[in-house]
Chains A and B, each alone.
Chain A
């Protein structure tokens, strides 16, 4: 993994929102790297900062109320935070593309699917007329829409949910991005359609070789898709590990509890599910110590006063926790 080029390097990203109630600390100093062609899954509950961190990377948040601070967000060696707006616009949708969660609302209802696929082609690649039309047809075929050329003239309401998400993927892939960010692309869809799309994205990635960040709250989807998984909680990265070791040997109490709270298809049914009691912390007032303390089964005194940073505990496996959950003692 390490011999691949690092294409995205996020260092100490912090995003806050200024609201009437006060400052919401949505992302609180996260750092990770992504290699060319790699697939990572970013997992966490709603409000844990997984989407906001990606929107911060793309600088798609309105400033103010948002404020984005980071030591650096290097994309292929260049710091995205230094780019003026018009440079940033050249990167969005061409080198870094994003698929949004809700295919029902992220397409423009008054423009045809064809127009919306051609938009990035025109803007970023300077295509027009027949060339753009042909390429749009190709893209729609690529994402598995039958009779693609004639469907270019359709409006989004004529497409089903699964087809709209396919059209979104076609738009995202239009300019052959180096990095594709998928923000819960299958959450709004049914399981059988979800399976279709996961399969499609895997295939396309094999074919086109882009790196992929897949944001989700569903640990199951990530298991079959990602090489590495990043678990977020309350705006912090709490665990970062290769997919196999994360599922077999989760080391952060939150990941550990989350995996235990899922009903397994081959477990003995009828048993009580293990739960994580309580609620995630209020992002208006972050605690001084570790944010997981109120819900954690392994709390030590140190956890209440000092927030642990992300530390490598074995090869490629990083956690932000003071405790070794195997012994229950401080590491």
Chain B
């Protein structure tokens, strides 16, 4: 699966959050299985889209890759360095090259810091450049993300959501990273502003040769920006394929349903098409269903799905899926 072009490689990544009971004598009574055995790789210069419903573990995956959460087990390689085994010093060094843009531009900027200080903070932390060089760099970054450099002394509350997200992008770019986890960077923004931020991310990618892990729940935007797309359900990746392949030849029943739930901007097509409505809600990740995790909502599930966890396999070149009944899904759905 890996070759020279691979920048990030995730192998059998697992992240469980313990559920504890008791205050003085704490004991673990269970675990939220947020990410459960996930493997994929991200190539240099590409955008890998990660989609799924809330609570399916997309954000945890992104954060665990960056070692913001310590994984329960599994390995994450960044340029062939295993981050899980690396010591804190090495990770700190490597953090210069891997950054994150957060979902909520209202909560991810410190309201008591000026924009200039927010963007310069990574430079301060990593001790890069002299103060006046840092100031120059901040001005340059503001220009790069399409904000007026004159804004350095303003506070976050003086900006709109889209502008704040640009500040978040500038901060992520401060250290010249190679890899950025974009954790739902546009979900909190208005439609007309979303396009602005997406275009900015695309321009920066071309200009600076960035690699993105783009986490989102909006499939139409993910399709627009991604080269490959991974679909996640309840802690597992159920399908991974190049963008066009995923949309033209969807294999997993969950992906099929997810695609059919995306509203089209065309009244006639929207009325005519048959939606696949999944019954029920996503089960709790603290107590996931046996066998295939999707079997409780899957329209084509059989006995086998309840007991046997489907294997993560390469169905055709570059198109990975975990489902026992791929052919049946294609015929029946």
| Residues of A in contact with B (beta carbons under 8 Å apart) | 45-46, 160-163, 190-196, 199, 217-221, 223-224, 243-244, 247, 257-259, 261-265, 269-270, 272-277, 279
Contact = CB atoms under 8 A, between A and B. Distances in A.
Contacts of A191: 53, 217, 219, 258, 261-262
A264 B220 contact: yes
B162 A275 contact: no
B275 A199 contact: yes
Contact of B53 (A190, A223, A244): A190
A247 B191 contact: no
Given A220-B263, A223-B264, A224-B264, A195 B243 contact: no
Given A162-B281, A264-B220, A272 B192 contact: no
Contacts of B270: 220, 223-224
A81 B70 CA distance: 60
A220 B262 contact: yes
A196 B277 contact: yes
B278 interface: yes
18 contacts: A45-B190, A46-B190, A191-B258, A192-B277, A195-B261, A217-B190, A218-B263, A220-B270, A223-B264, A223-B270, A224-B263, A247-B266, A265-B223, A272-B199, A273-B195, A275-B192, A276-B192, A279-B160
Nearest to A270: B224
Contacts of B263: 218, 220-221, 223-224
B265 A220 contact: yes
Nearest to B271: A224
B277 A262 contact: no
Interface in B134-175: 160, 162
A258 B192 contact: yes
B94 interface: no
A239 to B, nearest CB: 15
Contact of B267 (A194, A244, A272): A244
Interface in B158-217: 160, 162, 190-196, 198-199, 202, 217
A219 B218 CA distance: 13
B192 A257 contact: yes
A196 B198 contact: no
Given A224-B263, A265-B219, 17 more contacts: A45-B191, A160-B281, A163-B281, A191-B53, A191-B262, A192-B257, A218-B191, A219-B191, A219-B265, A220-B220, A221-B263, A223-B265, A224-B267, A247-B267, A263-B223, A269-B243, A276-B195
A193 B281 contact: yes
Contact of B247 (A217, A265, A270, A273): A265
Contact of A269 (B223, B266, B278): B223
Nearest to A216: B263
Contacts of B281: 160-163, 193
Contacts of A272: 199, 202
A79 B243 CA distance: 54
A241 to B, nearest CB: 11
Contact of B191 (A160, A199, A262, A277): A262
Contacts of A279: 160, 162, 193
Contacts of A195: 260-261, 275, 277-278
A218 B187 CA distance: 12
B96 to A, nearest CB: 29
Contacts of A269: 223-224, 243-244
A63 to B, nearest CB: 28
A249 to B, nearest CB: 12
B289 to A, nearest CB: 15
B63 to A, nearest CB: 20
B221 interface: yes
Contacts of A161: 281
A261 B191 CA distance: 8
